[in-house]
Structure 1
């Protein structure tokens, strides 16, 4: 159910695939996401038609191998689980692509079950006429 966007500079399809696999593995390992629950948009920027901008915020320098990972998922996971996710994403990306962990930027945006539609114009997690738990 997490929706993942991965942006990086001038990369080839093999590296993009490895980045997607690394993030999916981390989601499975740390959050218990089913392996087949994969929704990803992988984008390689060429610096001409599209670009990434970055500096050395918090003393963490970035270079041309920078990777931005944006994850949208349902709310409710504790901070420890999110910290484990960030760490595992950086480790897996390093293992699969050689990208230094300081070049991996991860953001998480949380939402509610009604904020998802997986097709057919329906909110599969929050069908009409069904009150959410605790409502």
Structure 2
């Protein structure tokens, strides 16, 4: 699951295209199916959104929540490709994007009535 935080006036006009960029990047680097899209956009009022100096109002935070198992090299490639693709497709400079990856063991995920360590029919590999 991906959660994106940003100022509402800046995030609203680009959220569909940003979702496409996020999904294509996840598909390319992690091998996720195109239909495995779980993106949440948290649009905030500028008076509630504080961010570091040197950033613009385009500043956005992207939290990537996923099951543990990917290699360090894979996660680094994912982060770098996010920066590249967001700048190329949306014109947002890397200085205005913050990305964090939050990993949990498979047994801490619950979907389709089972836990992640019980699932046997994923269409992608977690250990990449």
Same fold (TM over 0.5): yes
- How many residue pairs get aligned? The number is 117
Distance 1:125 1:46 in 2: 35
From the CA coordinates, give the structure whose radius of gyration is larger: 1
Is the CA contact 1:66–1:104 (under 8 Å) kept in the aligned structure 2? yes
Is the CA contact 1:8–1:65 (under 8 Å) kept in the aligned structure 2? yes
Aligned partner of residue 80 in structure 1, secondary structure = helix
Gaps of 5+ in 2: 119-128
Gaps of 5+ in 1: 128-135
- Aligned Cα RMSD in Å? 1.7
Of residues 39, 57, 68, the one that matches 1:64 is: 57
The ranges of structure 1 where at least 4 consecutive aligned residues each deviate by more than 6 angstroms after the TM superposition are none
Return the structure number with greater relative CO, CA threshold 8 A, min gap 6.
2
More helix by share: 2
1:89-128 superposed matches below 5 A: 89-119=82-112, 122-127=113-118
For normalisation by structure 2, the TM-score amounts to: 0.81
